[in-house]
Amino acid sequence: MSAYRTLAPWAELFRSGNSVTGIFGVALGSILASQGLPSGDFAIITALHCLSVMTFMFSWNALNDYMDIEIDRINRPDRPSPRGRFLKLQLVGILLLQSLGPLSDSRSLRLP
């Protein structure tokens, strides 16, 4: 099985194209707030915020597909969940795994 064939349904489930806009929003906000490209600790914090926003958007889109699977079978049959690419149990597992991120202790990130 090719990597594309394996990853394409996940990218579609997470709507990765839409989630990239979150990264650009955080990066642009950081550039505007610092009046230039962030550097040092501020660059690390910006990168972590970008990652946080992206994973939040991934999980939100997965949650939306889980909650709306019956509606999407009628209105959006092209999405991976109504097509049967993911079982409801898989979607619950994805949501549980992604919910662990915010529970991690930010103090474990020892910034210089």
Range of the domain at 45: 3-108
Its pTM stands at: 0.70
Q: Please state the domain count of the chain.
A: 1
Q: What is the pLDDT of residue 88?
A: 67
Interval 70-89: pLDDT, tens? 898 899 888 877 777 776 66
Q: Average pLDDT in the 26-42 region?
A: 93
CA distance 27 to 9: 27
CA distances from 11 to 19, 56, 71, 104 (A): 10, 14, 21, 25
